Amino acid sequence: MRPGPRNLITDVAGLKVGSAEDAALRSGATVLTAETPFIAAVHVMGGAPGTRETDLLAPDKLVTHADALVLSGGSVFGLDAASGVVDGLRAMGRGFAVGPVRAPIVPGAILFDLLNGGDKDWIENPYRALGRAALERAGEDFALGSAGAGFGALTADFKGGLGSASCLLESGLTVGALVAVNSLGSTVVGEGPEFWAGPWEMAGEFGGFPPARRFDPGFEPSPTKRQGEATTIAVVATDAALTQAEALRMATAAHDGMARAISPSHTPFDGDLIFAAATGARALKEPDRDRFLLGHAAAVCLSRAVARAIHEARSFPGDLQPSWRSRFEANP
């Protein structure tokens, strides 16, 4: 495996990502969409998820394809970001055809960033507008770190953020990951600077530190956030032709990558979940081997994307936590 040319989830041909954020709000939204609808699935392992239309993505349900996936800050208010994306897609003539009507399929998930120091005293929910703005900005290149759904994210010790990574397989298949990291757990070993994801790093993408030193296996972490205040939400994607059940298996395997990069993960206080997206552009040449490697590659990409989210986050006045860069780089 090697990184794709952008080292972003948009190395999966046809995918686009857009983000919008509000600095005063200290929050934002991120949208993944494509030129045509794509197979979508979801797997939830956190104890406090916040979601929209995820039941629709079960393999036994009628609709197998989505028009977009939304990751947003804002807790329950952030679920409205998907409404803005629905509005925008409808204006484009996109959506599931029901007679003459088009109904865009836009599942979403949220993280909790309501206590990060931003101005949350709004009169009208701002997330619908953020969702539509993110859709309108969707393209192949997008910012990491303090952007979109990760703009106001926090972790156990450093600012969270938006991360992405990709890899190309020898088979010709491409895999990518997109993640908003707002975890109860830590992404660094001890006090850093090494990332738990260090052994999976490619081409110095998050600092090029040696693999993480051994950490005390008897260490007992304390929850620094309360139930509902955390959550890491992600998308893993591929250009492989997968069924919805196969996409679900890829999302399930990708949770290994989250657990490798965040310690601890999947706690009762996190709403950790992973969407999967498959564009279907490439047939599986060796189905058993390819499905096996897709799960592994999705986990590797997600680990790397988590570390990149933290590595790229920036410092702003009034931050409640330092950014990784402010602590370990001379010019954050």
pLDDT recorded at residue 85: 98
CA 1 to chain centre: 21
pLDDT recorded at residue 219: 66
Residues 24-77 pLDDT 10s: 999 999 999 999 999 999 999 988 899 999 999 999 998 899 999 999 999 999
CA distance 206 to 280: 30
Residues 234-253 pLDDT 10s: 999 999 999 999 999 999 99
CA nearest 274: which of 42, 99, 12? 42
Q: How far is CA 96 from CA 32, 41, 102, in A?
A: 17, 16, 5
Q: Which residue has the higher pLDDT, 33 or 99?
A: 33
Backbone dihedral angles phi then psi of residue 33, each to the nearest 5 degrees: -140, 180
pLDDT recorded at residue 229: 66
Which band of pLDDT confidence, cut at 50, 70 and 90, is reported for residue 213? low
Q: Is the predicted pLDDT of residue 305 greater than 90, yes or no? A: yes
Rounded average pLDDT over 91-110: 92
Rounded average pLDDT over 83-96: 95
Which band of pLDDT confidence, cut at 50, 70 and 90, is reported for residue 10? very high
CA distance 123 to 233: 27
Rounded average pLDDT over 160-174: 97
Residues 273-297 pLDDT 10s: 999 999 999 999 999 999 999 999 9
pTM: 0.95
